[in-house]
Structure 1
Amino acid sequence: MSPTASVGAGAARPDTVPVTVGTPDREATPDELDVAIAELRAGAPGWCATGIPERLALLAELQRTTHAAGAGWAASAAAAKGIAPDSDLAGEDWGTGPYFVLRNLQLLHTTLTDIQETGRPRPPAMRTEGARVVVDVVPGDRLDRLVHTGLTAEAWLQPGVSLDEAMARMGRSYRSDHERVPGVAVVLGAGNVSAIGPMDALYQLFAEDRVVVLKMNPVNAYLGPHLAAAFAPLIDADLLRIVHGGADVGRHLTEHADIDAIHITGSDRTHDAIVFGTGEEGRQRRAEGQPRIDVPITSELGDVSPVIVVPGPWTAKDLAFQGDHIASMLVNNAGFNCVAGDVIIQHRAWSKRRALLDAVRDSFRRATPREFYYPGAEERYELFVSTHRQAEQLSEAVEGGLPFTLIPDVDPSATDDVVFTTESFCGVISETALDAPRSVPDFIDEAVQLCNEQLWGNLSATLLVHPRSLADPEVTAAIERAVEQLRYGTVGVNLWAGIGFVFVSPPWGAYAGNELTDIQSGLGTAHNTFLLEDVEKTVIRGPWRPPLTPPWLHTHSRMHRLSPLLADLTVDFDPRTLAAMAWHGLRG
């Protein structure tokens, strides 16, 4: 057993536990699930009693085991998505898998060290702006300053929370006046991004003090053995079980009497089926606000993500870069992201509107064709394309894949159009144009209204605005008004809102205030490595046109080199690794 196996250990048990409960090819049985939950229930009190020094040692051990498992993990994910190991795209699964988890472990280690030394987490800055507290979270350390140069992230807390209250509530589980209550959480893992399930499990463990049953999604069940190797110290200590299976296994877990909390990543339909049931009974329960499950439920469920394009003096280079920027919001992970760009919102009278669409088209044409590996992609694609004769297929389609597709000029008054009501979750992005007044601030206000009132969900939104436009105080005021009024969990200014996920440290989730009966993009928060409470949204900002190609653009040619080096940096900030990163970064 691991040196950390005594952490949280419960009742006497065999010296070994299954690597996973069930396998990628065999569902766990009800009896196996019951045993797994019983073992976790026995380990839960020990975890609550585990102090910060022991938790820090466990995090350090997890960094070692996760780093060791990283290469196999990333290679398996890439192969399952039809990506050649020597392809530029191979870096995608290094980044969205092992690197994200390693970064999460590193940031949690920093936060717990700060709590041990000073009594609370230490974000870079906290201040009051108007009626709310704003917390600077990025840049937070030297890796942020190196990798995310010029980028920032703020956590905006809910209005009415004072600075003193915000500071007092941070790191709730580690406050001396907080009584830890042992519990077992079910985390239903995502099938698209391999880091989501492990990171959600870490949040339950280190922020909520609950031990975890992590159910693999059948789409990426092949990763179960890799995650078990990465998180072996948690499994050995009866703090985690990784289980395999489909809907029946999920139902057994979420309805189990010894489960104390549930976290769901998926669709709103999956959420409602779990919480209220299916068919007429489920609809009735939802209408009456009578859930079938009486435990805390958190979730992250996607949305129709808008990209608001503010008219301005864009040059040819600006158009080319932002065309790649927008296209990359869809090309990344073949469009199977909850934060993929879904709807571009433009001013109908802007002279550069058509030129920007041409730049997006050109970028899609240069994108590497992708396999559409996620179930249901063909049906969703057909739903969007069959209802829009103007749909343009802009890339080649490989066997088992579909072309990246643009649906331009969707009528903004067609409020029930599928592009506004349904997350595409495939290679489709749409564009709509507003007949707004010629005033740019008025256009921004109308675009915000469309986003808040017409688009489904409230996870992420992106604004693109030229620096010269911001020289106009009225435009600047309109942008800041938009940032405040957009009811989304992450708002990006000149930076794809999905990068809020990449940072790892900011709170991640839907806009605060959703309810179980109208779940939208979910409830609660994840990541949040400064352990903030009362979060309303995260606001991220970036430079208009960076001097180097950002690594998240699909046009970056060295991601397969950079991503493993980033993972290395989280465990050893070696100057040789920095030099190699600079070499590949400059040539990307």
Structure 2
Amino acid sequence: MTASSPTAERMREIDRAVEDLVRGEAAWAARDRAERRELLERMRAATAEHAEEWVRAAVAYKRLPEDSPLVGEEWITGPYPVLTSLGALAAGIGALQEGRSPVDGFSLGMAPGGRVSVRVLPHGIWDRLLLNGFSAEVWMPPGVTEEEVRTRAGLAQLRPAETNGVGVVLGAGNITSIPILDVLYELYANNRVVALKLNPVTDGLLDIFGEVLAPLIDLGAVRILTGGADVGAYLVNHPKVSHVHMTGSAATHDAIVFGPGEEGAARKAAGTPLLGKPVTSELGGVSPTIVIPGDWSEADLRYQAEHVATQKLHNGGYNCVAGQVVVISSAWKQKDRFLTRLRQALSDAPARPAYYPGSDERVNRAVDAYPGARHLPGGTVLLTDLDPSDPGPALTTEYFGPVLAVLELPGDMRQFLDEAVRTANERFAGTLGVNLIAHPRTVAALGGALDEAIAELRYGTVALNAWTGVGYLTATACWGAYPGHTLDDVQSGIGVVHNALLLDGPERTVVRGPFHPAPRALLHGRATLSPKPPWFVTHRTAATTGRLLADFAASPRWSALPRIFASALRG
């Protein structure tokens, strides 16, 4: 049996699923906005009901100890973003029901380059309390007006009866909310009914996903399939499938679009896809973390080292937006102290199994490419011998595992920033996310130059003093590559997901966070209430805090806040 030839029995199963969806498209088209909102509310209730089982299943396949604080990662990246997205989508559909725009009530402003920005975080009192100190904006492309933002928001829900056929979602295997969120986006943003094909590593979530998506499955708008590459290949090439959305690697994307091996490479070079239907994607890449030099205290060095370690080691490093290269100034007087703190933070991070297929092979490739690679306690490989003139594969190969490189570039604060932006844009593979870290005094000293640098960075999410993962967790933000990629140069993908406001053609998300955590921030004149974020790999009470946050997302209420704050502060 080849990758493109499942058994006859499996082919019949896939055919039946697609035929169900062909019929289900009419049922979806017949549902008005009120009914579609009610489906979202039912899925929200189902997610809350099955959240505990969801997390247990994720912990099992990732082989985490059940009493580990790392279990918090599965709450915060599993049920939590699904609950918040369902609520935000329902609110947007409700606005359309009432003849309003989904962006009504959100603040619109201007960003560099004449871009309209939509402030999506904080929005409402709960955000201001639970995510105090964090903010996020969605920037639209230059030339788009505020009126166009308002009138075009809603995408396919502006014309709900005009459906767009059967789509396939090839689900991710690393973050368990991705398959559900991608299904929701296909249905609500694009009016496509969905065949969701699970990544085999998440097969243990099949029944749970079935419960969460039951309202859509019962309607005939969703079918869930399992299996290997053979099932995926047959499904995406099915004549009654009109669109494919995938999360994964650029190599997998190219194999699907152009075919495998030398013949596929030849088709890619010629720009002649084998797959004759539209494909959207989120494909990761090599994410830089740019550390802008400044005058930091010892506490700052420790905290930001833990921050960078989290950007790399969250979920074991198996994140499309995991930080892979720390870009640092060779002229920074505190460089060596920061790198010492970083090595310590990486070494102290909890060890965990390499659950994602191919991890050891990818790590070994990194070690082979860099003779000076250091194996740290806990399993991280640190690469510090990169030559700026010829840095090697660390900037162009997504290792998707516990590998972190350090690239030193010359220059003081402003010169370094300019060179780091140029390097990130021109030499790094992918455009999904870039992180910047800068002391508040440095931010003030740079002034408008920092805003211009953010605008110049060609990445789908740019985060200042926050991890780009916060953009992933913000339901109303857009998530995806920087726009403009093509099938034969796909980089980090084509299109966006999440985007619960259903904005038409967003360019990027810009996230900002506090440089200092609470309560230490008060000593620096900052009013943030945010302690160490619960997604930090060093957070001692992340499991409890994550559970409480998911419970709150299911049913926001004042009475739940004291326990959340108490748990977060103990971390």
TM-score strictly above 0.5: yes
How far, CA to CA, are the matches of 1:76 and 1:196 in structure 2?
15
SS in structure 2 of the partner of residue 303 of structure 1: coil
| 1:12 alignment partner in structure 2 | none
How far, CA to CA, are the matches of 1:61 and 1:99 in structure 2?
16
The answer on 1:131 being equivalent to 2:114 is: yes
How far, CA to CA, are the matches of 1:517 and 1:144 in structure 2?
40
Q: State how 1:80-119 maps to structure 2 within 5 Å.
A: 80-119=61-100
Aligned partner (choices 561, 568, 572) of residue 551 of structure 2: 568
How far, CA to CA, are the matches of 2:473 and 2:496 in structure 1?
15
Aligned partner (choices 275, 280, 294) of residue 293 of structure 1: 275
SS in structure 1 of the partner of residue 447 of structure 2: helix
Taking only aligned residues, the RMSD between alpha carbons, in angstroms, comes to 1.6
| 1:380 alignment partner in structure 2 | 362
Shift of 1:126: 1.8
How far, CA to CA, are the matches of 2:89 and 2:163 in structure 1?
21
Distance 1:540 1:28, change over 3 A: farther
SS in structure 2 of the partner of residue 535 of structure 1: coil
Shift of 1:222: 1.2
The answer on 1:405 being equivalent to 2:381 is: yes
| 2:321 alignment partner in structure 1 | 339
Q: Deviations over 1:529-569 (max 9, x none)?
A: 01011211111101111211111111111111111211211
SS in structure 1 of the partner of residue 404 of structure 2: strand
Shift of 1:27: 11
Amino acid at match of 2:400: F
How far, CA to CA, are the matches of 1:28 and 1:77 in structure 2?
29
How far, CA to CA, are the matches of 1:362 and 1:116 in structure 2?
54
| 1:9 alignment partner in structure 2 | none
| 2:181 alignment partner in structure 1 | 199
How far, CA to CA, are the matches of 2:34 and 2:475 in structure 1?
23
SS in structure 1 of the partner of residue 384 of structure 2: strand
The answer on 1:144 being equivalent to 2:166 is: no
The 8 Å contact of residues 27 and 244 in structure 1, kept in 2 or not, is answered as no
How far, CA to CA, are the matches of 2:537 and 2:190 in structure 1?
36
Q: Deviations over 1:19-53 (max 9, x none)?
A: xxxxxxx9970100000110011010221221111
The answer on 1:154 being equivalent to 2:154 is: no
| 1:254 alignment partner in structure 2 | 236
Q: State how 1:322-337 maps to structure 2 within 5 Å.
A: 322-337=304-319
Aligned partner (choices 413, 423, 428) of residue 450 of structure 1: 423
Amino acid at match of 1:264: M
How far, CA to CA, are the matches of 2:70 and 2:443 in structure 1?
35
The answer on 1:491 being equivalent to 2:491 is: no
| 2:524 alignment partner in structure 1 | none
Q: Deviations over 1:164-183 (max 9, x none)?
A: 2222211122325x761341
The 8 Å contact of residues 185 and 263 in structure 1, kept in 2 or not, is answered as yes
The answer on 1:369 being equivalent to 2:345 is: no
How far, CA to CA, are the matches of 1:28 and 1:427 in structure 2?
40
Q: State how 1:29-40 maps to structure 2 within 5 Å.
A: 29-40=10-21
How far, CA to CA, are the matches of 1:179 and 1:99 in structure 2?
30
TM-score (norm: length of structure 1) = 0.91
| 2:526 alignment partner in structure 1 | none
Q: State how 1:245-324 maps to structure 2 within 5 Å.
A: 245-324=227-306
The 8 Å contact of residues 329 and 410 in structure 2, kept in 1 or not, is answered as yes
| 1:175 alignment partner in structure 2 | 158
Amino acid at match of 2:514: P
How far, CA to CA, are the matches of 1:463 and 1:570 in structure 2?
29
| 1:14 alignment partner in structure 2 | none
Aligned partner (choices 39, 42, 45) of residue 23 of structure 2: 42
How far, CA to CA, are the matches of 1:262 and 1:173 in structure 2?
17
Q: Deviations over 1:105-150 (max 9, x none)?
A: 1111111112222432025112344422111111123332232111
How far, CA to CA, are the matches of 1:360 and 1:321 in structure 2?
10
How far, CA to CA, are the matches of 1:390 and 1:502 in structure 2?
36
How far, CA to CA, are the matches of 2:407 and 2:569 in structure 1?
36
Distance 1:179 1:240, change over 3 A: closer
The 8 Å contact of residues 27 and 220 in structure 2, kept in 1 or not, is answered as no
| 1:426 alignment partner in structure 2 | 401
SS in structure 1 of the partner of residue 190 of structure 2: coil
Amino acid at match of 2:325: V
| 1:501 alignment partner in structure 2 | 472
Identity %: 41
SS in structure 2 of the partner of residue 410 of structure 1: coil
SS in structure 1 of the partner of residue 463 of structure 2: strand
Shift of 1:98: 1.2
The 8 Å contact of residues 128 and 134 in structure 1, kept in 2 or not, is answered as yes
The 8 Å contact of residues 363 and 381 in structure 2, kept in 1 or not, is answered as no
User: Structure 1 stretch 249-258 or stretch 27-36: which is displaced more?
Assistant: 27-36
| 1:53 alignment partner in structure 2 | 34
Shift of 1:364: 1.4
The 8 Å contact of residues 27 and 221 in structure 2, kept in 1 or not, is answered as no
| 2:44 alignment partner in structure 1 | 63
The answer on 1:538 being equivalent to 2:509 is: yes
The 8 Å contact of residues 370 and 385 in structure 2, kept in 1 or not, is answered as no
| 1:394 alignment partner in structure 2 | 376
| 1:468 alignment partner in structure 2 | 441
How far, CA to CA, are the matches of 1:464 and 1:431 in structure 2?
15
Shift of 1:572: 1.5
Distance 1:271 1:28, change over 3 A: farther
How far, CA to CA, are the matches of 1:390 and 1:181 in structure 2?
55
The 8 Å contact of residues 27 and 249 in structure 1, kept in 2 or not, is answered as no
User: Structure 1 stretch 271-280 or stretch 340-349: which is displaced more?
Assistant: 271-280
How far, CA to CA, are the matches of 2:74 and 2:548 in structure 1?
13
How far, CA to CA, are the matches of 2:342 and 2:381 in structure 1?
10
The 8 Å contact of residues 45 and 182 in structure 1, kept in 2 or not, is answered as no
The 8 Å contact of residues 108 and 119 in structure 2, kept in 1 or not, is answered as yes
SS in structure 2 of the partner of residue 312 of structure 1: coil
| 1:15 alignment partner in structure 2 | none
Q: Where in structure 1 are there 5+ consecutive unaligned residues?
A: 1-25, 397-402
| 1:188 alignment partner in structure 2 | 170
| 2:528 alignment partner in structure 1 | none
TM-score (norm: length of structure 2) = 0.94
Q: Deviations over 1:238-268 (max 9, x none)?
A: 1111100111100111100111111010000
Amino acid at match of 1:37: V
Q: Where in structure 2 are there 5+ consecutive unaligned residues?
A: 1-6, 519-530
Amino acid at match of 2:200: P
| 2:523 alignment partner in structure 1 | none
| 1:21 alignment partner in structure 2 | none
User: Structure 1 stretch 74-83 or stretch 128-137: which is displaced more?
Assistant: 128-137
The 8 Å contact of residues 165 and 242 in structure 2, kept in 1 or not, is answered as yes
Q: What is the count of residue pairs matched by the alignment? A: 551
How far, CA to CA, are the matches of 1:96 and 1:530 in structure 2?
20
Aligned partner (choices 540, 545, 565) of residue 557 of structure 1: 540
